[in-house]
Amino acid sequence: MTKRELDKALIFFNRCKLYPINLYIYFFKPTIVKKYAFILLLAAIQLQAAHAQQKIYRDSVLKIMDKVANWQLRTWQRQGMQHPSWHWTNGACYTGIVALGQISKNPAYLKEMRVIGDSLNWNTGPNRFMADDYCIGQMYAQMDILEKQPKMIARFKVLADSIIANPHAESLEWKNNVASREWAWCDALFMGPPALAYLSTATGERKYLDIAVKLWLKTTDYLYDKDENLYFRDSRFFSQHEANGKKIFWSRGNGWVMGGLVRMLQNMPAGYPDRPRFVELYKKMAAKIASLQNADGTWHAALLDPSSYPVKETSGTGFYCYALAYGINNGLISHREYYPVVTKGWDALTSSVHADGKLGYVQQIGEKPETVSYDDTEVYGVGAFLLAGTEIWKLMASHH
């Protein structure tokens, strides 16, 4: 059977909703018998097989997410956290644990977030205006959305009001410790804007989304390369180049951006004035990122010079799978075009999970492309993995 014949059969099969009794009826129509009977039966078998595989695959997504999340929780319990519990690394991890907690029947995930929040008195980090230090505000706002406990966002709300009150007139050039006041590096677009956007959803107050959008666009105007549809990490990289002569665009750095972008869209009403600009930015980045996927299914540390960093890298890959799966689920990009990219990336991610649930190939804390190994892990990589898994689980459900 040719692909064209199968495609015709599938279209006919889906259009007629051919259950066994329908097949019996349609087979007695002479033109169908002559042209499609055998093909339709074969197509029915293939569709049923695909349906069964999809159910198994969806179950396997949740299973490996549990495995990775439980490894991380056990590690915290046995060894303590490597970084302070308010730290951005953990804040990024919490986003994935909250996402898993919302689809899992296991109450331990959200319970752990409550315990951590209570231990911090629901406060952010000590550097009040640095985006890294209020990344944890995403978890606080999401927990408040789920549980309606004002104490969870009371302190973050005060900080957010002070962010709004600041003039934000400073240049984003990487000097004078600008990162402690402005979103002058692309990673900040995951740390800060979504925290404020989720706070907007939690409180119903648009001003928090407005300031997130205003400052996102300021950073984008400064760091976004319109020719490549990618973000420089910060101004120091404007004139730097990889070994192959290409511009330096860091995989996880742009992964932070893509992850932050869809979390902004998730909290942006359909009629919000700047939403079309964010959707357009998302589509341009999605197309670019998809075109850069490597044969192993991942995105290596240097997006435009993957051969200089030949080993797969899972933190950037996790954020890309998350963002692309979200786009498919929400009708922003084509299922036909991007589904293979997402599933290939997810296969690469799951193959990087150790037998005990540890996620490997996570580039360590940094600011540019660097080498990575099978044993390297970090909590933000786990967060990206769980975010990706949650959206892929939804994707499997919606195309069940």
Task: Provide the token pair at 145.
Answer: 């959305």
Asked, for residue 112, whether it belongs to a domain, the answer is yes
Cross-strand bridge partners of residue 359: 353
Any idea what DSSP says for residue 183?
Answer: -
Give how many domains the chain has, as a whole number. 1
Asked, for residue 64, whether it belongs to a domain, the answer is no
**Marked catalytic residue, from 187, 234, 305, 376:** 187
Three-class secondary structure of residue 371 per DSSP: coil
Asked, for residue 54, whether it belongs to a domain, the answer is no
- How far from chain centre, in Å, is Cα 146? 20
- Which residues are CB-neighbours of 394 under 8 A, at least 6 positions away? 103, 325, 329
Please tell me whether the overall predicted TM-score, pTM, comes out greater than 0.75 for this model: yes
Cross-strand bridge partners of residue 225: 230
Asked, for residue 255, whether it belongs to a domain, the answer is yes
Question: pLDDT truncated to tens, each residue of the chain (400 aa)?
Answer: 444 454 444 444 444 433 333 433 344 444 544 455 555 555 444 544 444 444 547 789 999 999 999 999 999 999 999 999 999 999 999 999 999 999 999 999 999 999 999 999 999 999 999 999 999 999 999 999 999 999 999 999 999 999 999 999 999 999 999 999 999 999 999 999 999 999 999 999 999 999 999 999 999 999 999 999 999 999 999 999 999 999 999 999 999 999 999 999 999 999 999 999 999 999 999 999 999 999 999 999 999 999 999 999 999 999 999 999 999 999 999 999 999 999 999 999 999 999 999 999 999 999 999 999 999 999 999 999 999 999 999 999 876 5
Instruction: State the CATH number of the domain containing residue 165.
Output: 1.50.10.10
Query: Going by DSSP bridges, is the β-strand pair 230-231/224-225 parallel, antiparallel, or unpaired?
Result: antiparallel
Asked, for residue 336, whether it belongs to a domain, the answer is yes
Asked, for residue 35, whether it belongs to a domain, the answer is no
Task: Provide the token pair at 382.
Answer: 């786990």
d(CA 332, CA 335): 9
Which helix (DSSP H) or strand (DSSP E) does residue 231 occupy?
Answer: strand 230-231
Asked, for residue 8, whether it belongs to a domain, the answer is no
Q: To which residue do tokens 């998809």 refer? A: 290
| 187 flagged as catalytic | yes
Any idea what DSSP says for residue 224?
Answer: E
Asked, for residue 42, whether it belongs to a domain, the answer is no
Which domain covers residue 106, as residue numbers? Answer: 81-398
- How far from chain centre, in Å, is Cα 137? 17
Binning the chain into helix, strand and coil, the percentages to the nearest 5 are 65, 0, 35
Residue 323 · residue 262 · CB < 8 Å: yes
Torsions phi, psi of 147, nearest 5?
-120, -5
d(CA 302, CA 310): 9
CB-neighbour burial class of residue 382 (10 A; exposed 0-12, middle 13-18, buried 19+): buried
What amino acid occupies position 252? R
